[in-house]
Chain A
């Protein structure tokens, strides 16, 4: 199988990642609750979400995590190991929204055993609003030649 994979040696500090984009639908929100088992009512019950002070059902923590992860691994490839990810949720993602994942390489470094590590900042932008701000560290393979 021919696989696209970014190697540690090819990453440069300051690089921008390709933009990831997702149209969030009600179907996706329901499918995500069914697949992720987070049955907190704000994620599937519009009346409850409104009593929470929000517009309608909103996408959960796992979804934010996965949008950050996709922004990184859609670019870096399937041999990437996520070592650390911090997300701060500053706004909501609702069905009907189109979100974009924007990433930037902030540091390229070696771990204590010489393994290739890359730090990245990732933002999930919903319209003009940065609804999720993240930073993470991944381990990438070295290029063999």
Chain B
């Protein structure tokens, strides 16, 4: 760790370093994050119960078969399918996202904006894979929560056959909290 004051409590596997080091990372892409479980109806319905989404495309198997060619998942939970389980007998993986891997001083992450383009419905049985490319890092800025850098990355989501499902451009603020 190049910055002795920074400790990762986020569980995201944050790497620490300087802004100058971070700039050399622009253009790098993560390894593929391969979904640990296929897209499945019980998880879709658990998610929909949390956000109270009554859309029959997510709840009614016959409706989904008739109108969508099978069960589909809500676009709002796409990221879920590539997040690792939090405990496994052999030890857990950490999701590889550029906002965490890039060396920077900030030890607190907060997401700022996310733009998704969706090309295909996400269907039951798909195994979703995500790769993330580092696009840009802002100079140091101070906001209401603290001082740090805005990190822009582009994630692509594919199914197990290589079909592009969606692309997301994400901006995350990695900072040190003001009162620390």
Question: Which A residues have a C-beta under 8 Å from some C-beta of B?
Answer: 1, 3, 22, 28, 31-32, 34-42, 48, 51-54, 60-63, 65-70, 73-74, 78-79, 81-89
Contacts and interface: CB of A to CB of B under 8 A. Distances in A.
A81 B79 CA distance: 18
A78 B51 contact: no
B178 A53 contact: yes
A140 B75 CA distance: 16
Given A60-B111, A74-B55, 8 more contacts: A31-B46, A51-B9, A65-B114, A78-B56, A81-B118, A85-B115, A86-B113, A89-B113
B78 to A, nearest CB: 9
24 contacts: A1-B62, A3-B63, A35-B47, A38-B80, A38-B83, A39-B83, A40-B11, A52-B108, A52-B110, A53-B146, A53-B178, A65-B75, A66-B74, A69-B74, A69-B75, A73-B53, A73-B55, A74-B54, A78-B67, A81-B118, A82-B75, A85-B75, A85-B118, A86-B114
Contact of B114 (A37, A52, A61): A61
B115 A86 contact: yes
Nearest to B169: A86
A1 B66 CA distance: 10
Interface of B: 9-12, 43, 46-47, 49-57, 60, 62-63, 67, 74-77, 79-80, 83, 86, 108-118, 121, 144-146, 177-180
Contacts of B112: 88-89
Nearest to A5: B67
B180 A83 contact: no
A115 B27 CA distance: 35
A52 B177 contact: yes
Contacts of B74: 66, 69
Contacts of B111: 60-61, 89
B105 to A, nearest CB: 15
B76 A69 contact: yes
B55 A84 contact: no
B173 to A, nearest CB: 10
Contact of A51 (B79, B108, B118): B108
Contact of B80 (A36, A54, A86, A89): A36
